Amino acid sequence: MPYGFSFDLSSISKSFFRELAMVAQRRKLHRRLGVGARNLAEKFRLSEITGLDVPDALLLVEDLIDIHVQNVSEKERFTETQKRALFLPHCSRKYMDSRCQATFDSSLPSYQCGHCSPDCLVNRATALGEKKGYDVYVLPGGSCVQGILKKKQYEGVVGVACSQELKMGGHCLQNIGLAGQAVPLVKNGCANTSFSFRSLEKIL
Protein backbone atom coordinates (compact mmCIF):
# COMPACT_ATOMS: atom_id res chain seq x y z
CA MET A 1 0.00 0.00 0.00
CA PRO A 2 1.48 3.42 -0.92
CA TYR A 3 1.67 6.40 1.42
CA GLY A 4 -1.14 8.91 1.27
CA PHE A 5 1.48 11.53 0.36
CA SER A 6 4.32 11.90 -2.13
CA PHE A 7 7.90 12.50 -1.10
CA ASP A 8 11.19 13.18 -2.80
CA LEU A 9 14.31 12.94 -0.66
CA SER A 10 16.74 13.12 -3.58
CA SER A 11 17.76 16.69 -2.74
CA ILE A 12 18.28 15.99 0.98
CA SER A 13 21.91 16.00 2.10
CA LYS A 14 23.63 12.59 2.11
CA SER A 15 24.53 13.14 5.73
CA PHE A 16 20.81 12.79 6.52
CA PHE A 17 21.00 9.13 5.53
CA ARG A 18 24.25 8.63 7.45
CA GLU A 19 22.70 10.10 10.59
CA LEU A 20 19.55 8.06 10.01
CA ALA A 21 21.65 4.90 10.15
CA MET A 22 23.27 6.13 13.38
CA VAL A 23 19.88 6.87 14.95
CA ALA A 24 18.79 3.37 13.96
CA GLN A 25 21.84 1.91 15.70
CA ARG A 26 21.13 3.94 18.84
CA ARG A 27 17.48 2.95 18.74
CA LYS A 28 18.53 -0.64 19.22
CA LEU A 29 20.05 0.45 22.51
CA HIS A 30 17.69 3.13 23.77
CA ARG A 31 14.45 2.76 21.77
CA ARG A 32 13.94 6.55 21.86
CA LEU A 33 12.63 6.44 18.30
CA GLY A 34 10.29 9.41 18.46
CA VAL A 35 12.99 11.78 19.67
CA GLY A 36 15.54 10.60 17.08
CA ALA A 37 13.10 10.96 14.18
CA ARG A 38 11.98 14.44 15.23
CA ASN A 39 15.57 15.65 15.70
CA LEU A 40 16.55 14.35 12.27
CA ALA A 41 13.53 15.87 10.54
CA GLU A 42 14.21 19.24 12.17
CA LYS A 43 17.99 19.21 11.66
CA PHE A 44 17.71 18.46 7.94
CA ARG A 45 14.68 20.75 7.44
CA LEU A 46 12.77 17.86 5.92
CA SER A 47 9.38 19.58 5.84
CA GLU A 48 10.83 22.76 4.38
CA ILE A 49 12.80 21.01 1.62
CA THR A 50 10.27 18.32 0.66
CA GLY A 51 7.05 20.25 1.28
CA LEU A 52 5.77 17.45 3.52
CA ASP A 53 3.79 18.46 6.56
CA VAL A 54 5.41 17.64 9.90
CA PRO A 55 3.41 14.46 10.77
CA ASP A 56 4.05 12.99 7.29
CA ALA A 57 7.76 13.85 7.49
CA LEU A 58 7.97 12.20 10.92
CA LEU A 59 6.12 9.10 9.73
CA LEU A 60 8.52 8.80 6.80
CA VAL A 61 11.63 9.18 8.97
CA GLU A 62 10.29 6.68 11.53
CA ASP A 63 9.64 4.15 8.77
CA LEU A 64 13.13 4.66 7.33
CA ILE A 65 14.63 4.13 10.77
CA ASP A 66 12.56 0.96 11.25
CA ILE A 67 13.88 -0.39 7.95
CA HIS A 68 17.48 0.33 8.93
CA VAL A 69 16.96 -1.39 12.28
CA GLN A 70 15.46 -4.41 10.53
CA ASN A 71 18.34 -4.53 8.01
CA VAL A 72 20.91 -4.46 10.78
CA SER A 73 19.20 -7.18 12.80
CA GLU A 74 18.79 -9.45 9.75
CA LYS A 75 22.19 -8.82 8.17
CA GLU A 76 24.08 -11.73 9.70
CA ARG A 77 21.38 -14.26 8.87
CA PHE A 78 21.05 -12.83 5.36
CA THR A 79 24.80 -13.06 4.71
CA GLU A 80 24.64 -16.80 5.31
CA THR A 81 21.99 -17.37 2.61
CA GLN A 82 22.82 -18.82 -0.80
CA LYS A 83 19.76 -18.84 -3.02
CA ARG A 84 18.41 -15.32 -3.24
CA ALA A 85 15.81 -13.21 -5.01
CA LEU A 86 15.84 -9.50 -5.76
CA PHE A 87 12.46 -7.75 -5.96
CA LEU A 88 12.49 -4.42 -7.79
CA PRO A 89 9.53 -2.01 -8.05
CA HIS A 90 7.99 -1.48 -11.49
CA CYS A 91 7.53 2.19 -10.60
CA SER A 92 11.30 2.82 -10.95
CA ARG A 93 11.30 1.89 -14.64
CA LYS A 94 12.34 4.71 -16.93
CA TYR A 95 9.15 4.23 -18.94
CA MET A 96 5.81 3.06 -17.60
CA ASP A 97 4.16 2.88 -21.04
CA SER A 98 4.70 0.90 -24.25
CA ARG A 99 8.24 2.26 -24.59
CA CYS A 100 9.26 -0.09 -21.77
CA GLN A 101 10.38 -3.29 -23.50
CA ALA A 102 9.94 -5.49 -20.43
CA THR A 103 7.99 -8.71 -20.88
CA PHE A 104 5.35 -9.65 -18.35
CA ASP A 105 5.00 -13.17 -16.96
CA SER A 106 1.49 -13.31 -15.54
CA SER A 107 2.09 -16.73 -13.98
CA LEU A 108 4.44 -15.19 -11.37
CA PRO A 109 3.44 -12.28 -11.84
CA SER A 110 6.53 -10.22 -12.70
CA TYR A 111 8.09 -8.11 -15.42
CA GLN A 112 11.43 -9.07 -16.89
CA CYS A 113 13.48 -6.09 -18.05
CA GLY A 114 14.11 -5.94 -21.81
CA HIS A 115 17.17 -3.65 -21.32
CA CYS A 116 15.94 -0.95 -23.70
CA SER A 117 17.49 1.97 -21.80
CA PRO A 118 20.99 1.94 -20.27
CA ASP A 119 20.05 4.79 -17.91
CA CYS A 120 16.95 3.03 -16.52
CA LEU A 121 17.39 2.32 -12.80
CA VAL A 122 15.57 -1.01 -13.07
CA ASN A 123 17.82 -2.04 -15.95
CA ARG A 124 20.96 -1.22 -13.97
CA ALA A 125 19.64 -2.96 -10.85
CA THR A 126 18.58 -6.03 -12.85
CA ALA A 127 22.02 -6.34 -14.43
CA LEU A 128 23.71 -5.96 -11.05
CA GLY A 129 21.42 -8.48 -9.36
CA GLU A 130 21.89 -11.08 -12.09
CA LYS A 131 25.65 -10.57 -12.03
CA LYS A 132 25.60 -11.29 -8.29
CA GLY A 133 23.58 -14.48 -8.82
CA TYR A 134 20.11 -13.24 -7.82
CA ASP A 135 16.86 -14.17 -9.54
CA VAL A 136 15.47 -10.73 -10.36
CA TYR A 137 11.76 -9.83 -10.41
CA VAL A 138 10.28 -6.47 -11.33
CA LEU A 139 7.02 -6.43 -9.44
CA PRO A 140 3.79 -4.65 -10.31
CA GLY A 141 2.90 -4.66 -6.59
CA GLY A 142 4.00 -5.94 -3.19
CA SER A 143 1.17 -8.47 -3.13
CA CYS A 144 3.05 -10.51 -5.78
CA VAL A 145 5.83 -11.36 -3.32
CA GLN A 146 3.95 -14.06 -1.42
CA GLY A 147 2.95 -15.90 -4.60
CA ILE A 148 6.50 -15.93 -5.95
CA LEU A 149 7.91 -17.13 -2.65
CA LYS A 150 5.38 -19.97 -2.63
CA LYS A 151 6.37 -21.06 -6.15
CA LYS A 152 10.15 -20.68 -5.77
CA GLN A 153 12.36 -21.68 -2.88
CA TYR A 154 14.65 -18.90 -1.67
CA GLU A 155 16.77 -18.51 1.43
CA GLY A 156 17.27 -14.75 1.19
CA VAL A 157 15.37 -11.83 -0.31
CA VAL A 158 16.31 -8.24 -1.12
CA GLY A 159 13.40 -5.88 -1.68
CA VAL A 160 13.36 -2.37 -3.14
CA ALA A 161 10.14 -0.42 -2.61
CA CYS A 162 8.64 2.50 -0.71
CA SER A 163 9.02 2.19 3.04
CA GLN A 164 5.42 1.21 3.74
CA GLU A 165 5.56 -1.64 1.23
CA LEU A 166 8.89 -2.73 2.69
CA LYS A 167 7.52 -2.82 6.22
CA MET A 168 4.64 -5.02 5.11
CA GLY A 169 7.04 -7.23 3.12
CA GLY A 170 9.28 -7.51 6.19
CA HIS A 171 6.38 -8.88 8.27
CA CYS A 172 5.61 -11.39 5.50
CA LEU A 173 9.26 -12.58 5.44
CA GLN A 174 9.32 -12.88 9.22
CA ASN A 175 6.19 -15.05 9.15
CA ILE A 176 7.81 -17.51 6.77
CA GLY A 177 11.25 -17.29 8.35
CA LEU A 178 13.15 -15.84 5.39
CA ALA A 179 16.12 -13.51 5.86
CA GLY A 180 15.71 -10.18 4.08
CA GLN A 181 17.32 -6.85 3.38
CA ALA A 182 15.57 -3.75 2.12
CA VAL A 183 16.34 -0.65 0.08
CA PRO A 184 13.73 2.11 0.51
CA LEU A 185 12.75 4.44 -2.32
CA VAL A 186 14.05 7.99 -1.93
CA LYS A 187 11.27 9.22 -4.23
CA ASN A 188 7.80 7.66 -4.23
CA GLY A 189 4.67 8.42 -6.19
CA CYS A 190 4.11 5.08 -7.99
CA ALA A 191 5.76 6.38 -11.21
CA ASN A 192 9.21 7.81 -11.94
CA THR A 193 10.33 6.72 -8.49
CA SER A 194 13.96 6.25 -7.52
CA PHE A 195 16.23 4.53 -5.03
CA SER A 196 19.91 4.68 -4.17
CA PHE A 197 21.81 2.40 -6.53
CA ARG A 198 24.79 2.68 -4.18
CA SER A 199 22.72 1.35 -1.26
CA LEU A 200 21.56 -1.56 -3.40
CA GLU A 201 25.15 -2.32 -4.43
CA LYS A 202 26.23 -2.40 -0.78
CA ILE A 203 23.45 -4.80 0.20
CA LEU A 204 23.85 -7.18 -2.75
Query: According to CB under 6 A, which one of 36, 89, 156, 159 is a site residue for ligand SF4?
Result: 89
Site for ligand SF4 contains 95 (CB under 6 A): yes
Site for ligand SF4 contains 63 (CB under 6 A): no
8 Å CB contact between 185 and 161: yes
Q: How far is the CB of 183 from ligand SF4 (least distance, A)?
A: 11
Q: What is the DSSP letter of 94?
A: S
8 Å CB contact between 111 and 140: yes
Q: Under rule CB under 6 A, which residues in 146-165 are in contact with ligand SF4?
A: 161-162, 165
DSSP string, 87-113: EEEGGGSS-SSTT---EEETTTTEEE-
8 Å CB contact between 129 and 136: yes
Nearest of 195, 197, 193 to residue 184 by alpha carbon: 195
Site for ligand SF4 contains 115 (CB under 6 A): yes
**How many residues comprise the chain?**
204
Site for ligand SF4 contains 196 (CB under 6 A): no
8 Å CB contact between 49 and 11: yes
Query: According to CB under 6 A, which one of 20, 24, 85, 122 is a site residue for ligand SF4?
Result: 122
Query: According to CB under 6 A, which one of 123, 134, 179, 195 is a site residue for ligand SF4?
Result: 123
**Segment contacting ligand SF4 by CB under 6 A, of 8-16, 48-56, 65-73, 113-121:** 113-121
Find all residues with CB under 8 Å of 201, minimum gap 6, and list them. 128
CA separation for the pair 3, 71 (Å, rounded): 21
Quick one: 41 or 100, whose CB is closer to ligand SF4?
100
Site for ligand SF4 contains 69 (CB under 6 A): no
CA separation for the pair 4, 136 (Å, rounded): 28
**Segment contacting ligand SF4 by CB under 6 A, of 61-69, 87-95, 148-156, 171-179:** 87-95
- Contact residues for ligand SF4 (CB under 6 A)? 2, 89, 91, 93-95, 100-102, 113-117, 120, 122-123, 161-162, 165, 185, 188, 190, 193
